[in-house]
Structure 1
């Protein structure tokens, strides 16, 4: 093992301020592990953190990125959750292990130091064992996107076989929601502006695809496809005026999982449909460590393979972020180790 590590860091906002740098390799303190990072997955959040910090006060230099898979290469005293040689993935939140989120939790990659480095030191509380059935690149996608979909549908949503789920788009969270819902025995309707992406989503198990460019009132199509009943669960990834369409697409007693803000940070819509349909609205902020452990077991048992659009080399972070910003079919991943 060398005495230095390579990492990406930013000293101001904007992709132009991202630089690769060499720093001393830290050693794990008590309760910490040193992980050789093998792969790191990007999220739209990373694009926003680089651009403007999402309103957070960051300490420069800031290392971005929250999602990684790697191998433990050293442990500090008192570590019991992992040993040298274990394959692990990072948790998104530092300090949220189970139950309701405690006050003051913070995420890796902003405001806490991130994982876009060839080695990282993490608390043993901020890792879980990686799925045995996934590659490093696949395992890295679980931390944020996979866990967000799992929390929305299973941990909080109580999804059951025979229910109908509407998924908006074909990004990382959306495709995880599709795959997890199909594995649970649910029927999935995917909304997208691309016939090609809809065909690919149907190949993954979606029952129906609705092209929002051809059907701007896509909620009416959902009602038609469900014989007027509506969906039991809508994964809301857009925000703004799209929320009203999500409301209209839901069945009586349906559940709206508010996850994304790809179009607008506002939440626009009348309160009347919520009352008339007795809807449940839940905000999803990824999830806790225990839920990630549950997801890992489900991934291994169900044989789910995360969808990766493109893998980039570690030196290609700017190109990978640009790809993430314009969107992909599934996840964007950096090969690190």
Structure 2
């Protein structure tokens, strides 16, 4: 089978034996994978790693079961599946021993993968493999970030990465008012099409936290899906106002920024909750939600397996709007 492994900061395609499913394992024919920011960080050596070097990259995939090992009861040949981002986190608190795909164990940029049956969930027939591959990281992260959001709440999303785009759509489906930030008029128009009620250009308005307050009559956001980290957190605190908002701390796309003033954090009354994507139970909850209130994942481009390098370059250019997908079909 064909696989990709990193070598000196670039992807190298190799031929390796197709794995055989062991007891409790399922052999999946990978049909599509999607890229996330962490995949770039791992490839560039800029993300913590707990496994050996040269691991197969990419954390998100969709495919079909082609064989099962002894004792498997959850799946059978022909079933359509997606992976769980944290393969050993079933429910409850994330285990301390959790290892991620691509930086702790082999990921999904391969034609076949044998994984434990508990590391997969069923993919609805209403979603294509390409759409399904966008869900394990970005969609589940958005889903858990919005836990507890009620109709009428104000949700703030930052930028147009995968998590933020899913958060816009899921928040609207929950009946929330969405305020989004972006960097261009073209992306603002697309965010409006997805359902954003207010879009703020953070380039034209560097003090966008105050703009969020102004656009909500001084109320601020009830929930902030904070993907920027050091580069955006101070403005997120401003956008939170003083009414005990929750900041769902997702990532650190902005690698530097002003230090956080303790008194600003104290006065905001904000609760900060670190998001670790989610468990298998969270993933299954999301898929049940999508069966009733479907949304269409935003896909920027689909690349062939042979053109995986171009997919990574497209994603790294930050010109994409939506998920970059690689298909093995």
Query: Which of residues 303, 309, 324 is equivalent to 1:332?
Result: 324
**Aligned twin of 2:255:** 264
> Aligned pair in 2 of structure 1 residues 152, 265: CA closer, same or farther (>3 Å)?
farther
Aligned mates of 1:33, 1:176 — CA distance in 2: 29
1:36-81: per-residue Cα shift (whole Å, max 9, x none)? 1110001010011111051314424310011000000000011111
**Alignment map for 1:26-175 (pairs within 5 Å):** 26-52=19-45, 54-154=47-147, 158-175=148-165
Query: What number of residue pairs does the alignment pair up?
Result: 327
> Aligned pair in 2 of structure 1 residues 322, 129: CA closer, same or farther (>3 Å)?
same
Structure 1 residue 288: Cα displacement: 0.5
1:99-148: per-residue Cα shift (whole Å, max 9, x none)? 11111110112211011011111110110001332110000000000011
Normalising by structure 1, report the TM-score. 0.94
**Aligned twin of 1:218:** 208
Q: Which stretch shifts more, 286-295 or 313-322?
A: 313-322
**Aligned twin of 2:297:** 306
> Aligned pair in 2 of structure 1 residues 42, 78: CA closer, same or farther (>3 Å)?
same
**Aligned twin of 1:6:** 2
Aligned mates of 1:243, 1:53 — CA distance in 2: 21
Aligned mates of 1:266, 1:59 — CA distance in 2: 32
Query: Which of residues 222, 230, 238 is equivalent to 1:248?
Result: 238
Q: Which stretches in structure 2 are left out of the alignment for 5+ residues?
A: none
Structure 1 residue 326: Cα displacement: 2.3
Residue 194 (str. 1) matches residue 184 (str. 2): yes
* RMSD of aligned alpha carbons: 1.3
Residue 319 (str. 1) matches residue 310 (str. 2): yes
Q: Secondary structure at the match of 2:225?
A: strand
Aligned mates of 2:259, 2:76 — CA distance in 1: 48
Q: Secondary structure at the match of 1:38?
A: strand
Residue 238 (str. 1) matches residue 228 (str. 2): yes
> Aligned pair in 2 of structure 1 residues 241, 266: CA closer, same or farther (>3 Å)?
closer
The answer to whether the 8 A contact 1:33-1:123 is kept is yes
The answer to whether the 8 A contact 2:231-2:256 is kept is no
Normalising by structure 2, report the TM-score. 0.96
Structure 1 residue 219: Cα displacement: 0.9
The answer to whether the 8 A contact 1:243-1:268 is kept is no
The answer to whether the 8 A contact 1:239-1:267 is kept is no
